[in-house]
Amino acid sequence: MNLIWVVLLLMVFNNGHFSNGVGTNTSNRPEVLNIGCMLSFHSEIGRVGKVSLEAAVKDVNSDPAVLRGTELRLTMHDINYSGFMAMTEALQFMGTDTVAIIGSLSSISAHVIAYIANELQVPLLSFAATDPTLSSLQYPFFVRTTLNDMYQMAAIADIVEYFEWREVIAIYVDDDYGRNGIAALADQLAKKRCQISYKAPLKAQASRTDITDVLVKVALAESRILVIHATPIWGLTVLDVAQYLGMMGSGYVWIATNWLSTILDTDSPLPLETMENIQGFITLRMYTPDSERKRNFISRWKNLTRNQTANGPMGLNTYGLYAYDTVWVLARAMDAFFDQGGNISFSNNSRLSELNRGSLHLDAMTIFNGGKLLRDNILQANLTGLTGPIRFGSDRSLLFPAYEVVNVISTTRRIGYWSNYSGLSVVPPDMLYTKLPNRSSSNQQLHDVIWPGQTTEKPRGWVFPNNGRLLRIGVPNRVSYREFIGIVPGTDTFKGYCIDVFNAALILLPYAVPHKLIPFGDGLNNPSNTELVRLITAGVYDAAIGDIAIITERTRMVDFTQPYIESGLVVVAPVKKMMNSNAMSFLRPFSRNMWLVTGAFFLIVGVVVWILEHRMNDEFRGPPRRQIVTIVWFSCSTWFNSHRESTISALGRIVLVIWLFVVLIINSSYTASLTSILTVQQLSSRVKGIETLRTTNDPIGYQQGSFTGDYLTNEFGIHESRLIPLNSPEDYAEALRKGPKNGGVAAVVDQRAYIELFLSTRCEFSIVGHEFTKNGWGFAFPRDSPLAVDMSTAILKLSEDGELQRIHDKWLMRSACISQGAKLETDRLQLRSFSGLFLACGLTCLLALFVYFSLMIRKFCRHYAEESESVGSSSRSARLQTFLKFVDEKEEETKKRSKRRQLEWASSRNSGCKELPSTSNSSRVELSSNRSVSLGSGV
């Protein structure tokens, strides 16, 4: 880069000499400040910028409060679109004590001049160079006083996402401005899972023939979303050629960056032919909020441009507003520079002095000593201009970037706004800054758009490439289950369930899909559908149809349509018929554990009810043998609700009610299960499901080419040595009949769709256990393919119309064995199905016993306190025997004895009142005895 720079210097200095501008201004505020300006006077931006800059300088110099006696002297040079001229003019400015350079520089010129500005530490301000890479740390003295194209590309990406498109074509000028802008667009689209499908670069000075050649290739591409990032110089020529090629009709979407709005604002009204070329376009315009200062400047514009209309009327574009504000930013920064004690001084560049040879006078190129301070003051700007609040962020870009979204019809029609704060909205961005940012999809809004072709219906955004190429669709060349898909012998056509579904979906699409079905596989073994899907990502196929299961591994590679058939993995194994009736059929409804627990609860409930009723119910009393018989009889009779013993206690009735409810449920379930066993054919299998296969070492069969083998290994840890690939239904049957001991398999694991077809003619096998995966079959397309979305919609329509079921019945309806009423033995009622009932009943019994014994202990302590004292606390066995006798005693006897004791206690109390306090115990006993006798004789 240094060598190029030196060569440029030599080219400039060969044309003349510079005066030495070295010196030191002793005054803190000089009378004049030299500001350089480089414009292309004949461009839309340059013409407007020239008028705005002159107006701004005049306004600054007429305001004594700004620079306080110092006059801005703006020297303008016409670079006439030339990068070389821009470099030479910049070098001339560097020899005339210039403290800053302002320009409507192109991005190409800005890159080169920024190196000069860095070397000589002169701030370079541009209100038109929008290349995103100019904001990098590589150019510390470059200050962009307009919006960065990175934000413009973010706005376009949001528009593409808003209308649910996925691919765009970029047409751009092949220079730093175009390439870097489109690179930023690609980055922003990637954040939305969108992409640029085709890039169409054009030379900066492209001829009409060059443009035609590029646009012909664009017309042959698939996408119809065209983003044009051009310059006003040749942008309209591109659109004229596109109109000639028929690329402005219905189905196309044109999104132009803000170069188009610049032309519309500057050169309006455009010729009628030009306006016809841009009907339905979407373009962006830099947003500047409404203000009194802006309105006043717009009203001045006619007077300012009165002498500038040699080439027709000139309107005010947004670059003119940014140009005006650029002068004010620089003026405010210079004022702060002087307030901080800055001086306008320059010093020699030692490296340039070393290069001084002959008459080149390189020492004329001097370094601005206050350049860093001035640059920092510029970046610390905080003022309000015609474009709104002016502040710079940490990346030296303006804060609060925003754009208007414009729809071009007969005139420009604003359909919304975009801001980096809240995305797309129909409310001006400055009204949203006071609210919390909301970038949710539901909050993104635009008004209706009128698209090319004068239609309000959103274009689909893509078509099949008009290049004569057919869509290459891979189809598995199966050797088994040809009902799903199979090649017609002797032809290159296919038939089957999957083919009929695909053709029916194609008919529902609103466009033709030229395609060619290509067989995949050798025709000897079933091919791997995973490999077929991988070939789509490799570009071998454009799509794949057939019996392709939608699994995680494949969804990472391609996009699938809506499933058109559901099919999870199941286990099929040999089964044997069981006799419907035999001597022990009545035991088959319940499992062994169920019988054991049910019998145990019958006895438990009988014992609990006996305990609760024994003291008060004569039917639960008597000799021990009779009581045991009562318990057993009462327990068994509750099954039939025929028990004769009545319950008296409240606790006993509660337990009996809960138990009778449990018996009702068990009885009903037993009856239903026994009926099914005696009327439906029963099947028995050693394999109960996938869990049985996991716990054994028996070989397992699976379909060759299927994902099943890898799934069993990765998800269930089944060793590969146990997995046997099988190629056809006949292989399934033979391996299952042999069994694991004779070189066969214990079971076959495959997708339900295949197994149901397999079982339709082989009744000695059956599905065992439950389906242990859930997936479906779909058609595979490349990532983000719009055809996948349209095909999914078509498949849903087929399902809603019943056509999908009719196709299924045509190919897959068979008299399956499961329709004969066969039922697996595993349908026995298990204990876990009734665990809640038994738990509730058991808790009720425990609670009733707890309450019962609590009451007994309380009564025992109250009625037998004296006996307990007489027995003594040391004889626990005596107390326990007394308590057991109390519990076994009938309730009426306890009450009689209690009443008798109360009478005796009352009698003894009355006698004791006539004795002295010192009466002995023996005297009390005697009196009590005599009183008892007298009571007895009185009665």
Summarised one tens digit per residue, pLDDT across range 128-159 is 999 999 887 889 999 999 999 999 999 999 99
Closest CA to 97 of 156, 36, 6: 36
Element (H, E) at 88: helix 83-93
- For the segment 358-367, the average pLDDT, to the nearest whole number, is 60
Other C-beta atoms closer than 10 Å to the C-beta of 494 total 22
- C-alpha to C-alpha distances, 45 to 48, 134, 320, nearest whole angstrom: 5, 19, 7
pLDDT computed for residue 875 by the predictor: 61
Q: Which of 203-217, 414-428, 568-582 bottoms out in mean pLDDT, i.e. has the lowest?
A: 568-582
Of the ranges 82-91, 506-515, 536-545, 883-892, the best mean pLDDT one = 536-545
H helix runs in 314-441, sequence order: 318-339, 350-354, 371-379
- pLDDT of residue 123 exceeding 90, the answer is yes
- The structure tokens listed for 239 are 């659109």
- The structure tokens listed for 317 are 């574009």
pLDDT digits (tens, 9 = 90+) for 407-453: 998 888 999 999 999 999 999 999 998 888 888 888 999 999 999 99
Q: Cα torsion at 649, 653, 655, 661 (round to 10°)? A: 170
Q: How confident is the model at residue 851 (pLDDT cuts 50, 70, 90)?
A: confident
Higher pLDDT, 3 or 498: 498
pLDDT computed for residue 618 by the predictor: 64
Closest CA to 184 of 257, 131, 127: 131
Higher pLDDT, 135 or 868: 135
Taking the domains of the chain in order of start, what are their residue ranges? 32-144+294-352+360-390, 149-291+401-443, 471-567+778-803, 585-679, 683-774
Closest CA to 606 of 623, 624, 630: 630
Q: Cα torsion at 450, 456, 457, 462 (round to 10°)? A: -20
pLDDT computed for residue 451 by the predictor: 95
pLDDT computed for residue 319 by the predictor: 95
Backbone angles phi, psi at 243, to 5 degrees: -65, -40
pLDDT computed for residue 4 by the predictor: 44
Sign of CA dihedral 321, 327, 330, 333: negative
Contact 472, 542 (CB under 8 A): yes
pLDDT computed for residue 57 by the predictor: 95
Closest CA to 542 of 494, 470, 461: 470
DSSP secondary structure code for residue 223 in this structure: B
Contact 700, 724 (CB under 8 A): yes
Specify the 3-state DSSP secondary structure of 525. coil
Specify the 3-state DSSP secondary structure of 575. coil
Q: How confident is the model at residue 828 (pLDDT cuts 50, 70, 90)?
A: low
Q: Which of 75-89, 387-401, 807-821, 924-938 bottoms out in mean pLDDT, i.e. has the lowest?
A: 924-938
pLDDT computed for residue 736 by the predictor: 93
Q: How confident is the model at residue 644 (pLDDT cuts 50, 70, 90)?
A: low
Q: How confident is the model at residue 862 (pLDDT cuts 50, 70, 90)?
A: low
pLDDT digits (tens, 9 = 90+) for 609-638: 878 777 776 667 767 777 787 777 777 777
- The structure tokens listed for 428 are 């001006």
Q: How confident is the model at residue 895 (pLDDT cuts 50, 70, 90)?
A: low
- pLDDT of residue 842 exceeding 60, the answer is yes
pLDDT computed for residue 331 by the predictor: 95
- The structure tokens listed for 215 are 């646009």
Sign of CA dihedral 832, 837, 839, 842: negative
Domain range 149-291+401-443, its CATH number among 1.10.3720.10, 3.40.50.10490, 3.40.50.2300, 3.40.50.280 = 3.40.50.2300
Q: Are strands 124-126 and 142-144 parallel, antiparallel or unpaired?
A: parallel
- The structure tokens listed for 914 are 């006539």
User: Helix 835-863 vs helix 876-888: angle between axes, to the nearest 10 degrees?
Assistant: 110
DSSP secondary structure code for residue 490 in this structure: T
H helix runs in 366-410, sequence order: 371-379
- For the segment 640-660, the average pLDDT, to the nearest whole number, is 75
For residues 161 and 171, give the distance between their C-alpha atoms in angstroms, rounded to a whole number: 19
For residues 930 and 924, give the distance between their C-alpha atoms in angstroms, rounded to a whole number: 10
pLDDT computed for residue 920 by the predictor: 40
- pLDDT of residue 28 exceeding 80, the answer is no
Higher pLDDT, 82 or 101: 101
Question: Hey, do 471-567+778-803 and 683-774 end up sharing a CATH topology, with the first three levels equal?
Answer: yes
pLDDT digits (tens, 9 = 90+) for 662-712: 888 888 888 887 776 666 555 566 788 898 898 889 999 999 989 999 999
Closest CA to 666 of 730, 618, 602, 715: 602
pLDDT computed for residue 905 by the predictor: 61
Closest CA to 234 of 171, 155, 166, 321: 171
Average pLDDT, the chain: 82
| E strand segments, 420-531 | 423-425, 471-476, 486-487, 494-495, 515-520
- For the segment 477-500, the average pLDDT, to the nearest whole number, is 92
Q: Determine whether 304 is exposed, middle or buried from the number of CB atoms within 10 Å of its CB (0-12, 13-18, 19+).
A: middle
Higher pLDDT, 535 or 882: 535
- For the segment 835-849, the average pLDDT, to the nearest whole number, is 86
What is the CATH number that goes with domain 32-144+294-352+360-390? 3.40.50.2300
Q: Name the superfamily (CATH) of residues 683-774.
A: Periplasmic binding protein-like II (3.40.190.10)
Contact 38, 101 (CB under 8 A): yes
- pLDDT of residue 865 exceeding 70, the answer is no
- Does domain 471-567+778-803 fall under CATH 3.40.640.10? My reply is no
Backbone angles phi, psi at 678, to 5 degrees: -80, -15
- pLDDT of residue 524 exceeding 60, the answer is yes
3-state secondary structure string, 109-158? HHHHHHHHHHHHCCCEEECCCCCHHHHCCCCCCEEECCCCHHHHHHHHHH
- pLDDT of residue 824 exceeding 80, the answer is no
Task: Report the alpha-carbon angle 872-875-881, nearest 5.
Answer: 110
DSSP secondary structure code for residue 23 in this structure: E
List, in order, residues 6 or more apart from 144 with CB less than 8 Å away: 125, 126, 129, 130, 134, 135, 396, 397, 398
Q: Which of 310-324, 512-526, 566-580, 607-621 bottoms out in mean pLDDT, i.e. has the lowest?
A: 607-621
